[in-house]
Amino acid sequence: MAGSALAGRREHGGTRSPFVRLTELLAGLEPSKPLINLSVGEPRHPMPDFVAPVIAANVNGFAKYPMLRGTDRFRTAAANWLGRRYRLPRAIDPNKEVVVLNGSREGLFLAGVAAKRLLGERAGKPAIIVPNPFYPAYGAGAEVAGCELVALPALRENNFIPDYDAVPDELLARTVAIYLCSPANPQGSVLPRETLSSVIARAREAGAYVFADECYSEIWLGDKKPVGALEACGASFDNVVAFNSLSKRSNLPGLRCGFAAGDAKFIAAYADLRNVCAPQVPEPLQEVAVTAYGDEHHVEDTRKLYREKFDLADKLLGAHFGHKRPEGGFFLWLDVTSLGDDEAATKTLFTEAGLRVVPGSYLAREGSDGKNPGAGYIRVALVDDLRTTEEALTRLASFGK
């Protein structure tokens, strides 16, 4: 069972950035229309108007080194936001169960390293389990930690949710951590509470950690809020850590501010590791985060704008390229096999439509069965304003019909 579908193997290029590979793919090509960049998941919505005044009021904070775990005000604001957003089994302790991050990418990368250090010897070669496709930081962390990366295919027939029940006990016994992403990047699928609870229960039994990447948690496109790992974990936060940031929620990708919250023992060990190798977050930026976590109006405006953009996608694309409105996030995950493989389709869309997208195979790894679950797909980031998004979707819809 641990063979074809479950085991992941390193492809040529290891943990190379998909964006570096994309730049190489498109080198020497010229778009025939004004370029619209749909490749990077960087929100281009208006920045909240409170950002500049808060920084100005706290500008003297740049003159000192910040505390690595975060200010009391930041950790309390993050804990309070979690308590309002989710139905938690109890309140998060901001002193023991929250740590500030220089963006969730840094946090997710170091989490695997910290887990390996904390758990020590496992029953065989230590492993880290990720969904496939996956955020590259997971794989980079596994590589640095010296762990085998096991990538579980997330396929259309299973609503792009990996079959976690198929993971054998022998693999779990040597697993250091299981990374979850909900809503998923790139497919936008949301993990049901039952799936979260089952994965957490099996991880606990095996002594492994569950790292929940929830940075798209506030972009849901239907009526139901995504369930968080910390509210699906039973009576305690043992073995569970959630990661979030303000990049997507508050349109502040350049702020580089987020948090990890959950298992107190892990947070303590994680903070010790970060204390010697990770960047601190300046206090004025933490003050922006305090204000951001205390305000939902700008988040609601952002969510409304994303819904309007997906309404356009539904109208202009229909079922073209296998389009189906995702449950969350801001990506389209489109089957472009009608245009050739995903690299060929990416080049065609760039040269003939002026659209820069990411080949799906660059976001995934080939399994031991020889299949890459991202092959034949492209990822399209709907991060621009409505006018630009409508133009991009109109160009996209004209291909392959």
Q: What angle do CA 290, 43, 242 make, to 5 degrees?
A: 50
Q: Is 70 left (phi over 0), alpha (psi -120 to 50) or beta?
A: left
Q: So what's the pLDDT on residue 367? A: 83
How do residues 304-361 score in pLDDT, each as one tens digit? 999 999 999 999 999 999 999 999 999 999 999 999 999 999 999 999 999 999 999 9
Bridge partners for 333 per DSSP: 379
How do residues 7-37 score in pLDDT, each as one tens digit? 443 343 347 899 999 999 999 999 999 999 9
Averaged pLDDT, 144-173: 97
Bridge partners for 209 per DSSP: 177
How do residues 370-390 score in pLDDT, each as one tens digit? 899 999 999 999 999 999 999
CATH classification (class only), 63-295 = alpha beta
Question: What pTM did the predictor assign?
Answer: 0.95
CATH classification (class only), 18-46+298-397 = alpha beta
CB 99 within 8 A of CB 79: no
Q: How confident is the model at residue 151 (pLDDT cuts 50, 70, 90)?
A: very high
Query: Is the model's pLDDT at 4 over the cut of 60?
Result: no
Q: How many angstroms separate the CA atoms of 45 and 256, rounded?
A: 17
CB 220 within 8 A of CB 244: no
How do residues 207-218 score in pLDDT, each as one tens digit? 999 999 999 999
Q: So what's the pLDDT on residue 401? A: 63
Q: So what's the pLDDT on residue 256? A: 96
How do residues 173-203 score in pLDDT, each as one tens digit? 999 999 999 999 999 999 999 999 999 999 9
Q: How confident is the model at residue 400 (pLDDT cuts 50, 70, 90)?
A: low
Buried b / exposed e across 270-309, counting CB within 10 Å, b at 16+? Answer: bbebbeeebebbbbbbbbbbbebbeeeebbeebbebbeeb
| Distances in whole angstroms, Cα of residue 10 to Cα of each of 14, 140, 255, 278, 365 | 6, 11, 32, 26, 7
Q: How many angstroms separate the CA atoms of 8 and 19, rounded?
A: 21
Show me where the domains of the chain are located. 18-46+298-397, 63-295
